[in-house]
Amino acid sequence: MSASVFIVQSGLAEKTRKSRLPGILDVLQSVTGLFLALFMWGHMCFVASILLGKTAMWTVTRMFEGYFFFGKSYYGLVSLVVAFVALVFFVHALLAVRKFPGNYRQWRAVRAHAKAMRHGDSTLWIWQVYTGFLLFFLASAHLYQMMIWPQDIGPYASADRIWSDGLWPFYLVMLLAIELHACIGLYRLAIKWDLLPVSLAFLKRLKWGLTVFFLALGLATLGAYMKIGYEHRFQYGERYTPKTLPDWLLRFSPTDDFPNIILPQPTLTEESP
């Protein structure tokens, strides 16, 4: 066993060369947070493709399954991406929890402080703690579900999950938690490292603007899935297949295998009379 173990056990760690780990963990917390927030924004945009129509969402889903590159869907690709995101999420959660109030005394002190101070940024941090705590459970459950059942992503599959499986309250709470947490987190990241050549006032406006935009986009998207799910409730389990695809997309589509992929449509280039 190394000597450092016994030095630390003796309570003399402060008398030796300071560990570089706190600095590395601080950077890692920021990097993982940045990755997750940007991933979440991208994810939100892809999921919101349902607002452009079922075929648009189907196309996005198939693209990530590799359908337009390999000629068939490989659901494992989605699982791999989700597994990586889950890994980053767990690292971020582990690092971020160090900053949480660790006992009742700390919690009472920081809450009373934020209340009495009526200071916006201190209050926002309390919200980050609340939303971060919620995401421990909500994001973990969502990531697990997507990793194990990647084939259940699609216009009807997702809508059925949200409406008929009764998961819309879960998604509503997760949407609010994740949008607030990510927007506040990115804002704090910009302050923490001070690398953007913009004023603090601009950062604050940008933070609220992005929060409102992504919340509105998320709520509209959730509403769209709920509507589709409600209309599709009697065909629960059926998967969406587009009647036709735009010409530009057909050029990327594996036309030889098309009947295997788009089951109900023998041909895609001709419109039915």
Partner 1 sequence: MKNRQITFQILRYNPQDVASKPRLQSYTLEKDSGMTLFIALNEIREQQDPTLQFDFVCRAGICGSCAMMVNGRPRLACRTLISDLPKTIVLTPLPFFELIGDLSVNTGKWMRGMSRHLEAWLHSREESPDLGRIEEKMEPEVAEAVYEMDRCIECGCCIAACGTAQMRQDFVGAVGLGKIARFRLDPRDIRADDDFYELIGDDNGVFGCMSLLACHDVCPKYLPLKTQIAFLRRKMAKIAIRQE
Please give the residue ranges that form the binding site for partner 1 (CB under 8 A): 17-27, 98-99, 101-102, 106, 109-110, 113-119, 121-122, 125, 188, 191-195, 200
Which residue, 1 or 195, is less far from partner 1 as judged by CB? 195
CB of 98 to partner 1, least distance (A): 7
Which residue, 46 or 107, is less far from partner 1 as judged by CB? 107
CB of 196 to partner 1, least distance (A): 11
Long-range (24+ apart) CB contacts under 8 A made by 125-132 are 125/184, 125/188, 127/180, 127/184, 128/180, 128/181, 128/184, 128/185, 128/188, 129/100, 129/101, 130/177, 131/176, 131/177, 131/178, 131/180, 131/181, 131/184, 132/93, 132/96, 132/97, 132/100, 132/181
Both tokens of residue 115?
């209340």
Which residue, 114 or 175, is less far from partner 1 as judged by CB? 114
Which residue, 30 or 211, is less far from partner 1 as judged by CB? 30
Nearest-Å Rg of the Cα atoms of the chain is 23
CB of 90 to partner 1, least distance (A): 21
CB of 110 to partner 1, least distance (A): 5
Which residue, 45 or 112, is less far from partner 1 as judged by CB? 112
CB of 210 to partner 1, least distance (A): 18
Which residue, 193 or 236, is less far from partner 1 as judged by CB? 193
CB of 189 to partner 1, least distance (A): 8
CB of 129 to partner 1, least distance (A): 10
The C-alpha atoms of residue 164 and residue 158 are separated, in whole angstroms, by 10
154: left (phi over 0), alpha (psi -120 to 50) or beta: left
Which residue, 108 or 243, is less far from partner 1 as judged by CB? 108
